[in-house]
């Protein structure tokens, strides 16, 4: 198991609203990576897999999410 704390917080959209990735937990190749996210509006901590979260726009890093 590996736990990674990103130095630069990554803003994401989750089913509970927008938040910031606080920790990334990798249990190995047999399981999904877990992202511990702090929800902006409530301060709650939730864990999501990669399929449940999406990165938000960030023009500083040239990341613009295109909508279909």
Domain that holds residue 27: 2-52
Distance CA 53, CA 22 (A): 13
Can you give the pLDDT at residue 5?
92
Say which residues have a Cβ less than 8 Å from residue 41's Cβ, sequence separation at least 6.
17, 18
Give 10-52 pLDDT, tens digit per residue: 899 999 999 999 999 999 888 899 999 999 999 999 999 999 9
Residue 64 included in any domain: no
Residue 66 included in any domain: no
What is the maximum span of the chain, computed from C-alpha positions, in angstroms?
Answer: 37
Residue 10 included in any domain: yes
Residue 57 included in any domain: no
Total-model pTM: 0.80
Count up the domains in the chain and report the number.
1
Give 44-56 pLDDT, tens digit per residue: 999 999 999 998 8
Residue 58 included in any domain: no
Residue 6 included in any domain: yes
Residue 8 included in any domain: yes
Can you give the pLDDT at residue 61?
61
Read off the pLDDT band of 60 (50, 70, 90).
Answer: low
């Amino acid at each position: 198991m590996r736990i990674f704390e990103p130095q630069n917080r990554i803003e994401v959209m989750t089913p509970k609203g927008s938040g910031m990735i606080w920790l990334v937990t990798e249990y190995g190749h047999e399981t999904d990576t877990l992202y511990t996210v702090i929800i902006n509006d409530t301060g709650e901590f939730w864990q999501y897999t990669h399929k449940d979260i999406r990165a938000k726009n960030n023009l500083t890093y040239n990341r613009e999410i295109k909508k279909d």
